[in-house]
Structure 1
Amino acid sequence: MMEKTITLCMIVKNEEKFLERCLSSVKSKVDEIIIVDTGSTDGTIEIASKFKAKVYNLEWKADFSFARNFSLEKATSDYILVLDADEYLDDSSNLEKVLETEKDHYTVRIKNYLSSGGAIYHPAVRLFKNNRGLQYFGKIHEHLNVEDKSLNLTHEFGDLIINHEGYKDEIVKEKNKHERNIKILLDEVEKNPSGYNYYNLGNQYKSNEELDKALDAYQIAFPLSKDRLYIQYLLYNMIDCLRQLERFEEALNVVDASIESFPNHTDFHFMKGRIYEELNYLQDAEQAYKQCLKLGEVELFQTLEGVGSFLACVRLGSIYIKQGQTLKAFDMAIEAIKFNKYHMPALVMYLEVVQKTRIPFDQVKEHLSSIFPVQNITDLRNLIIVLTVSKSPLLKEYLEMYQVKVDSSVLGISKLYAKEYEEAYEIWSSIEHIEASEVNDLILLSFLLNQNQLLVKCKNKINISSKEWRILNKVVNGEEVEGQHLSNELEEIFLFIIEKLIYMNEEKKFNSIIKILLTFPNSSLKIAELLNRNGLSQAAQNILLEDYNTSANNPLIVELLADTCVKQKQYVEALSFYDRVISLKSKYELYEKVFHVYEELNDKEGMTLVKNEIERKYPLAKWVK
């Protein structure tokens, strides 16, 4: 077979920020570059000229298909590849290998990067034969007439990935895409109220967080789209809107119907897990995420990357953390890292679990190097970021091991959590301006050194009253403080200090701040919750029992007492406290907790009774059936 020639066809306007990367990714893989410019005023044309592109000027008519078709008319090669400026061909893509089958058109995968760090894959026809009657239609979200049966086209999925940055929030905002797109889409649905147009209108409203409008558009689109390729993602977006609007029962009805129609589409099971997790129906959420792992990733349809692998593992890990099943959470974090070592929440979860279980430092260091070996600069950069965010004592080790040059603030954090307080103080003293995210670290360091000179750097970064500022200074200096109600912001600062002191094994300092804070009204509950969460259940229980005599009717205190009993395997006492809470304020998650206690006791009768009660009171719970 002779090699096929390929023309890259693009339409652009003011794309100097992205165009060079796009063209660099294809310059050795295409024979011709056609660029249709619709009015650039920046350096776009100059960049295109560097790559010997044929540039054509075209007046913008608010019609993407018109501009696309104009670009196709200029192509002279056997095949056409279509890209946008904020896209680029993945390094692994081999166009000539794909074209060996000589099909008329190929569906490829577009990987849309999100601001959250995740990605959504969707399929699209971007590689197709020239002069086969293929044309674009639709003023926006334009697509080729590949379903025209009169053309008698051949097709297959091509092993290509096109990376796309344009869905990131900052880029959408920068390009003002929303206002432009809404205007065109509203005009389109008025002239042609098709399911596809309403689907795209819904997507645009959803991306702008106008969820009610998005849902209305999806509901119109649904009956018009049942035989369309995008129907699964239309349903997914409907469910997600209902979830975000906290219309959970409706969301579960739609997701169950979707799973019945598309049982192997992992995204629906993942969304079901999200809904149940937000309802605190953890048993059902766990089952949904396990089904995601059983099904695996979706290959040929639009999908959220990781739903069948690392995302499901992280969600399962978060459930196990809530349930106090630390070892299971640890296993899920490791599995997530195996699936995707660059998924930062997985690494953060791993480090969080090892901190809570207080595994010896040397063991953590050795184990981390085995599950996350540093093989290149990308590995090192990502690991340094996660160690900084997690406030890990390993940060100093890696900075020194690889002789990494970092900002002074990162160096200060590394010294602080490696317990080199004086060195950390010298570094922070030389930093003129600190970020809001660094305030708690400076206050912790000040408390550890019993000096408040660094506090002045924090004063304008925290929103507390003058009176609370004086309290903070006294606490830092280890002075006695007259108890009073604390604002949420100051309370969170103190809780942060307590948690870090636990991880750093600063027992004396820990005891001193606990003693001070317990003099403040209504502080004991949050302190006890933090202690219980970090493995100090006996200490948490002692604090709560002091309040119980006067607060036996406070369901929050009674429930937390029950939780501390479970952590210490005091199951009979736990059942007594849970029964008390249920009599005060019944809620679903209490029944799950009681069920797990009976499970630990191997009390089949008790388990059955709880399941029957859940089935009677909470029909949304499916696991009991």
Structure 2
Amino acid sequence: MRARRASDLRRSQRRELPRSPVARPASRAQASSAGGVLLSACLIVKNEEQFLDRCLLSLEGLVDEIVVVDTGSTDRTREIAAARGARLHDFPWRDDFAAARNHGLDLARGEWILYIDADERVRPASVSRLRTQLADPWHVAHYVLLHPRPGFTPYWEMRLFRNDPRIRFRGIIHENIWPGIHAYRAARGGRIGRSELVLDHEGYERDQEVKHRRNLPLLRKALKEDPGKVFSWCHLATIYASLGKDRRAEKAWKAGLAVVRKRPRSRSGEDTLPYLGLIQWRLARGRDTRRLLAEALERFPHNHQLHWLRGITLMRAGRPGEALPFFERLVACGRTGEIDRFLAYDARLFDVFAYDSLATCHFKLGHYAESRGYFELAAKHDPEKLEYRLKRALCARLEGSSTDGSPGGR
């Protein structure tokens, strides 16, 4: 059960590793009283039979116990959890994600918590290195890398933290663990680290209608209580857009944007979301985005998707030569791996989408050899797309015409 797991994106945006002084190491009494349990995996579920077994299988050998909190499953979810040896507990759903998650934390016996959702899997990792890292008494929490959906780049997200009663979730939706971590650090100090764990999320590939119906009233209620939640505004806008309620979607994105504009400037991935959502929404409807895109790029000059959108707008405006550097930069980032971890990006931005756009720009400039080369690269990355092979052949023919003196050369 999850409320758009990129919801944790908001709290995971605090990427800078704080260097606050460490007052004293964490107590070992907790581990001793727990019978030597170091790491507990905690998850809340409801009707997750499609994913749960793969999730639990990925945790075997990595964690010391699995705590599954069921909020009312009617399928085989409970049976699957029991078969995998999880500690299964019931918690009646009361429209509050933090309450359900905190119930699981209260039941966990480990010194550390890994919180995960049923539609996520942990990639194979070195158990010895993880346990050595968690044995360090000077750390309070660690980020993990999360791939939010297949074919997307990962971003850092807070998923590993000490099992301490001060560290609990807050918020009925897009629940936030950071206030608890800050409370712990204020009392005891402690560092924030980065683990080697990598998680893959599968759930966005299924029908979202049921989740939309569940999340819509929760988002409205949460925003009424705290209208400063940027991610919640963007989630609300996405739901409205999927329901065809365009005016409400635009209004929600604008509300999130208004919050961001009042904040101090940062590299927060969350703060880019209303810009990206509104720009792409307007572009899809043929509306002018130049001022908003310029503002976004000035505020977030390193955001890859904004670079992509700038290149697209220049290309559509009949300025392919000016668009080229934006797409070339994306290809370079993909080849070197210098992709920021503040947001998750569609990985195709760095290869097939960029190659397609570069090929189109060069074609419009009459650079048929260069265009053919990029269409060839695009075809290698997406061999099922006949369009690239056809355009590559067209470029080869035009390239030949230009070399024999026929019209159509540079």
What TM-score do you get using the length of structure 2 for normalisation? 0.76
- Asked if residue 164 in structure 1 is aligned to residue 198 in structure 2, the reply is no
1:123 match: secondary structure: strand
- Asked if residue 286 in structure 1 is aligned to residue 320 in structure 2, the reply is no
Aligned partner of 1:192 among 226, 234, 239: 226
Report if the CA contact (8 A) 2:368-2:398 is conserved: no
Report if the CA contact (8 A) 1:195-1:221 is conserved: yes
Instruction: Label 1:314 to 1:14 Cα distance change in 2 as closer, same or farther (>3 A).
Output: same
Give the structure, 1 or 2, with the largest relative contact order (CA under 8 Å, sep 6 or more). Answer: 2
Report if the CA contact (8 A) 1:267-1:303 is conserved: no
What is the correspondence of 1:145-544 to structure 2 with a 5 Å cutoff? 145-146=178-179, 149-152=182-185, 153-168=190-205, 170-173=206-209, 176-196=210-230, 197-206=232-241, 208=243, 210-225=245-260, 226-227=263-264, 229=268, 230-248=270-288, 251-296=289-334, 297-306=338-347, 307-321=349-363, 325-332=367-374, 343-344=381-382, 351-352=389-390, 356=393, 535=397
1:143 match: secondary structure: coil
Report if the CA contact (8 A) 1:134-1:146 is conserved: yes
State the Cα deviation string for residues 199-257 of structure 1 (Å, max 9, x = none).
Answer: 33234334556454333212212232334731123322222122122213xx2222222
Match for residue 91 of structure 2?
Answer: 58
Distance, in Å, in 2 between the alignment partners of 1:282 and 1:132 is 57
Distance, in Å, in 2 between the alignment partners of 1:78 and 1:300 is 28
Distance, in Å, in 2 between the alignment partners of 1:218 and 1:256 is 17
Identity of aligned residues (%): 26
Match for residue 490 of structure 1?
Answer: none
Report if the CA contact (8 A) 1:98-1:159 is conserved: no
Distance, in Å, in 2 between the alignment partners of 1:247 and 1:345 is 33
Aligned partner of 1:139 among 172, 178, 181: 172
Instruction: Label 1:96 to 1:204 Cα distance change in 2 as closer, same or farther (>3 A).
Output: farther
AA aligned opposite 1:81: L
Match for residue 78 of structure 2?
Answer: 45
Deviation at 1:332, TM superposition (A): 3.0
What is the correspondence of 1:589-600 to structure 2 with a 5 Å cutoff? 600=410
Match for residue 447 of structure 1?
Answer: none
Number of paired residues? 360
What is the correspondence of 1:114-129 to structure 2 with a 5 Å cutoff? 118-119=151-152, 121-129=154-162
Distance, in Å, in 2 between the alignment partners of 1:328 and 1:132 is 61
Instruction: Label 1:314 to 1:23 Cα distance change in 2 as closer, same or farther (>3 A).
Output: farther
Taking only aligned residues, the RMSD between alpha carbons, in angstroms, comes to 3.4
Tell me which protein shows more helix as a share of its residues: 1
AA aligned opposite 2:174: H
What TM-score do you get using the length of structure 1 for normalisation? 0.52
Distance, in Å, in 1 between the alignment partners of 2:237 and 2:180 is 23
Instruction: Label 1:96 to 1:246 Cα distance change in 2 as closer, same or farther (>3 A).
Output: farther
Distance, in Å, in 1 between the alignment partners of 2:134 and 2:373 is 43
Deviation at 1:106, TM superposition (A): 1.7
Deviation at 1:122, TM superposition (A): 4.0
AA aligned opposite 1:130: N
- Asked if residue 12 in structure 1 is aligned to residue 48 in structure 2, the reply is no
- Asked if residue 88 in structure 1 is aligned to residue 126 in structure 2, the reply is no
Report if the CA contact (8 A) 1:333-1:346 is conserved: no
2:236 match: secondary structure: helix
Deviation at 1:347, TM superposition (A): 7.4
Instruction: Label 1:100 to 1:352 Cα distance change in 2 as closer, same or farther (>3 A).
Output: farther
Distance, in Å, in 1 between the alignment partners of 2:107 and 2:132 is 25
- Asked if residue 105 in structure 1 is aligned to residue 141 in structure 2, the reply is yes
Which 5+ residue runs of structure 2 have no aligned equivalent? 1-27
Which 5+ residue runs of structure 1 have no aligned equivalent? 358-532, 539-564, 575-596, 601-625
Instruction: Label 1:283 to 1:211 Cα distance change in 2 as closer, same or farther (>3 A).
Output: farther
Distance, in Å, in 1 between the alignment partners of 2:342 and 2:163 is 25
Deviation at 1:4, TM superposition (A): 7.5
